[in-house]
Amino acid sequence: MLLPRFEAMRHAHNAAPHVDWPTRKRHLKALQAMLHKYREPLAKAIDADFSGRSIQETDMLELFPSLGNLKHALSHTRGWMRGSQGWANLWLLPARQAVVPQPLGVVGVIVPWNYPLFLAVGPLTDALAAGNRVMIKVSEVTPRFAEVFASAVAETFAPEWVTVVTGDAQVARAFSTLPFDHLLFTGATSIGHHVMRAASEHLTPVTLELGGKSPAIIGPGARWEHAVERIMLGKLLNAGQTCVAPDYVLVPREKLDSFVATARRVAARMYPDAVNNPQYTSIVSARHFERLTGLASEAAAQGATSHALFDAAPQASRRRLPPVVLTGVHDGMRVMREEIFGPLLPVVPYDDLEAAIAYVNERPRPLALYVFDTDSTRIDRVVNGTISGGVTINDTLLHVAEHSLPFGGVGPSGMGGYHGEAGFRTFSKEKPIFRQARWNGAGLLNPPYGKVFAAMIRQLIR
């Protein structure tokens, strides 16, 4: 089933490999119109898949950035398509050179369940802007969204341009073995290994967005209330089921108790009525709920202290998990080794900023890093002294929503990037072209090599 669909798209691309600006614009406009038309059905489907995620949260976290990226692409793609041109270097004059972005062909996109709309539409926007045809594998964990999205895409695009694949993990494995011209995967690091291995059979280039344990560092000069509020917002949106959510917090040792008290106050202000608040998102599945409660229980059994931020018990039947701050954690706990992907937040005290930086650098490189301080020297020390996929200063998550910034991981948190111009270039072949002038001196370097050659080569290798 998958291979014939892929081959039809590859055949269509080979028949018309050049995609002009009017065609790309038409596709981007069609995708934009689709999102407006299906806004409510898509949000309701996501709400149903999660058994509780507010339409407001989907509008803010998925629809808004998707439409923003589309507007950005519509404004800039024509300029990106021009590439660059100019004279060749001094010794090759009067030749000219150019770099021309060209569509790769058929792009594959594997979408996770946590932000199924944004993480499908974002790569789709960039790939269409670059002139490609796109196959999208949506997650089986969000089946209602998958059904609505597949229907919307089928109504909007011809199948040789965009097609949506549904199905279980076995289908996803088969999808990753197709000989795409580029494959983008967003998901767990453990699955990323398998995707990269499958893609290597065809030497398919990959972009991997994998996540990891993204730290937030509260510096000694941070605006305290602001820092804790923005960290908790980044953690509690989508109940922490966000690849760039703060995974743990490093705080000055004397501020440890204050963090717990402030976090409890902030959480109560954001979500009155605790887990019964309809704007507080459920955990996506029973399996993920059990994994998160298991992480918290194991940490407590190994000496961590749990600080519940809501005066409410977990509700397994509704998969409602109150946020918990964990103190007294150590590396022997799974909660400090695995990406949490939920509303559990370990807090680690530090004695000086250099120790906090060292703590981050001793661990796998994260997808995101957050630093809070009012002193630019300290901020620069953290930013320059660590390596991460991206950074937001004095806030959380927002670097992902900035269309002019590339989004991607580094090392264990991923490879490659997209969004805006970075996405356009990821899904393009930037073809170098050298155009020789009719009258040129290249023949002076032809054999047999004599005195003229020797004189010229002395100049060339000086």
The residues that are catalytic are 209
Catalogue the E-assigned strands of 196-254.
206-209, 215-218, 248-252
Burial 89-101 (b: 16+ CB within 10 A, else e): eeebeeeeeeeeb
Which residues does 453 contact at the CB level (< 8 Å), separation at least 6? Answer: 444, 445
Between CA 180 and CA 198 the distance in angstroms is: 11
Give me the helix-helix angle, 143-156 and 21-37, nearest 10°: 140
Alpha helices of 237-318 — where are they, by DSSP H?
Answer: 256-270, 286-301
Between CA 172 and CA 120 the distance in angstroms is: 15
DSSP helix/strand/coil, 347: strand
Secondary element (H or E) of residue 145: helix 143-156
Write the single-letter amino acid at 144.
R
CB 173 within 8 A of CB 155: no
Which residue do the tokens 């023949």 mark? 443
Between CA 214 and CA 198 the distance in angstroms is: 27
Between CA 197 and CA 201 the distance in angstroms is: 7
DSSP helix/strand/coil, 108: strand
Could you give the C-alpha distances from 347 to 253, 255, 273, 461, in angstroms and in order? 10, 10, 25, 59
